[in-house]
Amino acid sequence: MEKELSTDAFTAELAKRNRVILLGGMAMIAHGLNRPTKDSDIWLEPFSTAEEWVERCLAVVAKFPGSHVWSLAERRRLDRPEEIVADIDDFSVIRIGGMDMPLDIFRKPNELDMDEFDSVWAAASSMESGLRLPEETDLYRTKANTGRPQDLQDQLFLESLVRERFRARLPVCDLAEAKSLTDRFLDPQTLAYAKTNSHPEVRAHALRYLKEFEAEGDPYSRDILAAGGWE
């Protein structure tokens, strides 16, 4: 019996034997943003070679008769494995067509490196489909420098989620957690939440970054520091 030609079925099949992270509009919706999307985006574990990566994709394509591989950059169908390998080497993404929604599979997403997959996967949360949902700051990075208005709106929404998490955790966390948080996202407004933390080392950690920002001419850091209360 043929499998239903749906992106949900395809990604679930891919995730049975591979590590897959949800990206794009569907990831934004999963994080709580009510917005439309015309396609689905995922990050398939990069593996050591493009040949192995393509082999993993094609193993699932073969289970969905009617699906096919499409070059997004060159806008043409790719039928031979060597064509797909060359395309993924050049452009880092392929599209699976013939589904109920176009599915874009990345080997290297925008603003993320392939060697970051393990850390993004570890920080992501599990989904019922077998995929993982990236943590807000990792998803935020994939939206950077695209020039698309929708991505800017997505970033603003993700920033609001990050700030709420920082607002809840920086006043009460230990130094290890504070470093983990600030390794992933930094701005003066979020650092200011550490001001009431009872651990002097956490306050000192945030203060160091604020002083660096102030030295670079950031007016928000200057105002935060001028208000005092960090000792």
Instruction: Give, rounded to a whole angstrom, the gap between the first and last alpha carbons of the chain.
Output: 69
Give the pLDDT of residue 1: 36
Give the pLDDT of residue 5: 83
Distance separating alpha carbons of residues 161 and 55, to the nearest angstrom = 37
Give the pLDDT of residue 2: 46
Looking at per-residue pLDDT, the higher value among 3 and 126 belongs to: 126
pLDDT at 123 over 70: yes
Tokens of 85: 């390998």
Which residues, 6+ apart, have CB-to-CB distance to 31 below 8 Å? 133, 136, 139, 157, 158, 161
Give yes or no for a contact between 50 and 107, defined as CB atoms under 8 angstroms apart: yes
Which residues, 6+ apart, have CB-to-CB distance to 157 below 8 Å? 28, 31, 33
Distance separating alpha carbons of residues 187 and 71, to the nearest angstrom = 38
Distance separating alpha carbons of residues 110 and 92, to the nearest angstrom = 9
- Half-sphere exposure at residue 39, Cβ-oriented, CA atoms within 13 angstroms: 14
At 165-188, the pLDDT tens digits run: 999 999 999 999 999 999 989 999
Q: What is the mean pLDDT of residues 33-48?
A: 96
Length of the chain counted residue by residue: 231
